[in-house]
Amino acid sequence: MAVSVSLTRFAGDLRMANRATGTIQSYVASARRFEEFLGHDLAEASQESVRRWVDVLREQAIGASRLGQHYAALKFLYARTLGQPEKVAWITIPRAKAPLPSILARVEIQRLLAGFTNAKYRMFFTLIYATGLRISEASLLETSDIDAMQQVIHVRNGKGGKDRLVPMSGKLYGLLRAYYKHEQPPKPWLFASKSGKPITLETARRALLCASAVSGIGKVVNPHLLRHAFASHLLESGTDLRKIQIILGHESIQSTQIYTQVVPSQIAAVRSPLEDLPE
């Protein structure tokens, strides 16, 4: 089935709205599935057709988060691209209950980073732990983003297309200089693949999985766990929650407050009332 005019416009509107590449791909794929279900252009769907499609989605074994993506795609498509908001006004996007993030201890971070056999990937994930960057943000860093004078790293086009600054310690800067001198990646990238393009996320994730296996920490580690560790370790050290929010690039302080629930040392330090009972 050829790509319809509605799908083409939909993708263009998502880009204009500055949605992340992954979001655009997910939304367009969802809309394409609906169009295949309809058998005709999306603009010609009735509200009843939309309701039948939603019933099909609800019958599938998918989580609330993925279901919410399908619903959000429908609402953007009809309310904004096609100008037919009445067809989706009744849809309520389900809220997925966010699980508490798993937190790696400092000693586990140390063992994990020692598990890398490739210097480039060790430096890449050291940087993520040291700054709290998302893997996609770290992969697109250029050498010009490293500001040694101000001791910060410029993050360009982060989530939501926003720029921000993250702190760069003297230790991190020293490691980056040593890495760059040894690796000499092709300009302008700080981390590049053999093709001269930015580092491939899938390859980086595989390297991280191998390192976690070699480290013997007994946990399957993904890049976001290093971001979580960065935030929780800052909080453990007494860093203000508002500063952590800004560094992480969270839109709302509520996204950052989840770390107040998972700092092990602070929780362990709470004195149990059992201790005060007489023997």
**Where in the sequence numbering do the catalytic residues fall?**
134, 159, 224, 227, 250, 259
Q: Which residues pair with 155 in a beta bridge?
A: 164
211 with 120: CB under 8 angstroms? no
The 8-class DSSP code of residue 188 comes to T
Burial of 116 (0-12, 13-18, 19+ CB in 10 A): buried
Alpha-carbon distance of 221 to 219, in angstroms, equals 6
Q: Which residues pair with 167 in a beta bridge?
A: 152
The pair phi, psi for residue 154, each rounded to 5°, is -85, 125
Kindly state the tokens that stand for 207: 């390297």
The pair phi, psi for residue 46, each rounded to 5°, is -90, 165
H helices of the chain, where? Answer: 5-16, 21-38, 47-59, 64-76, 106-114, 119-131, 135-139, 170-183, 201-215, 223-236, 241-248, 253-257, 264-268
